[in-house]
Amino acid sequence: MGQVAIVTGGTRGIGSAISKGLKEAGYTVAATYAGNVEKAEAFSAETGINVFKWDVSDPEACEKGVQQVSEELGDIEVLVNNAGITRDGWFHKMTYDDWSAVLRTNLDSMFTMTKPVIESMRARSSGRIINISSINGQKGQMGQTNYSAAKAGVIGFTKALAQETARKGVTVNCICPGYIDTDMVAAVPEKVLEGIIGQIPVGRLGKAEEIAGLVRYLTSPEAAFMTGAVLTINGAQYIANG
């Protein structure tokens, strides 16, 4: 049995590609999901990847879930905080419930998922934490004040925690994908999608496997000196200032 990696939201979209990529790299992967049991079980049957159901915004569920993974699979070496939701809408029409749901799942989960693994990683002087933010956490996006705020918070969380854990051998990095060819993006109306692609200088959507490849690099020995980094992968749609 290889080293253990948890990927939240790991059965669909970008998370699915990350889970598969880490399995190919030799990790024993635990992919979490919150909703569709049938699809998650089909993913597990197809890939042989272990799946676990819990809500990443629920601190108690995360504690219990991480404990279950540790008991069944072993010490957790890699945590990929990927799970996220959207509740888009103009801010002046946005409800508190839509604001809060996105902040809990996309930002509070940085705490609820990382807290249960951090002490073990520090004690072993070994661990990789990879947080998935977004291009819209860097530049903002109309109709996504909740999502943009949460994903910007992920970047700040990454930079601060990286400094706290650097001497303990635990790296913390952040990936900011642009628009990626997933089911969620494919559901966008055709003309809207054409407009999005028109804003991407390379002329196409990104591939989930390209995000997974970057995750694999961040878990590799070659990335041991990289921590606190915010890595932009968006086809030059937005050039970050560092």
pLDDT for 120-155, tens place per residue? 999 999 999 999 999 999 999 999 999 999 999 999
What tokens does 193 get?
């999608």
Burial bucket for residue 216 (CB in 10 Å: 0-12, 13-18, 19+): middle
pLDDT of residue 189: 83
pLDDT of residue 1: 47
Burial bucket for residue 38 (CB in 10 Å: 0-12, 13-18, 19+): exposed
Mean pLDDT of the chain: 96
Q: What is the mean pLDDT of residues 74-80?
A: 97
Burial bucket for residue 190 (CB in 10 Å: 0-12, 13-18, 19+): exposed
Please determine, for residue 201, whether its predicted confidence score (pLDDT) is greater than 50. yes
Instruction: Write the single-letter amino acid at 189.
Output: P
Domain range list for the chain: 4-232
146-172 confidence digits (pLDDT tens): 999 999 999 999 999 999 999 999 999
Cα–Cα nearest to 81, from 25, 42, 127 = 127
Please calculate the CA angle 83-230-184 and round it to the nearest 5 degrees: 35
Known catalytic residue: 179?
Answer: no
pLDDT of residue 47: 98
Among 147, 179, 217, 238, the active-site one is: 147
Total Cβ atoms within 10 A of residue 1? 7
pLDDT of residue 135: 96
Please determine, for residue 183, whether its predicted confidence score (pLDDT) is greater than 90. no
pLDDT of residue 188: 79
pLDDT of residue 241: 74
Q: What is the mean pLDDT of residues 60-79?
A: 98
Total Cβ atoms within 10 A of residue 102? 26
Per-residue three-class SS string for 202-222: CCCCECHHHHHHHHHHHHCHH
6-50 confidence digits (pLDDT tens): 999 999 999 999 999 999 999 999 999 999 999 999 999 999 999
Strands (E), the chain: 4-7, 28-33, 50-53, 76-81, 127-132, 170-177, 230-233
Match 């049938």 to its residue by tokens: 38
Using pLDDT thresholds of 50, 70 and 90, give the confidence band for residue 177: very high
Strands (E), 83-242: 127-132, 170-177, 230-233
- Distance (Å, rounded) from C-alpha 203 to C-alpha 43? 30
The more confidently predicted of residues 217 and 186 is 217
Cα–Cα nearest to 228, from 165, 178, 139, 134 = 165
The topology (CATH level 3) of 4-232 is: Rossmann fold (3.40.50)
Using pLDDT thresholds of 50, 70 and 90, give the confidence band for residue 242: low
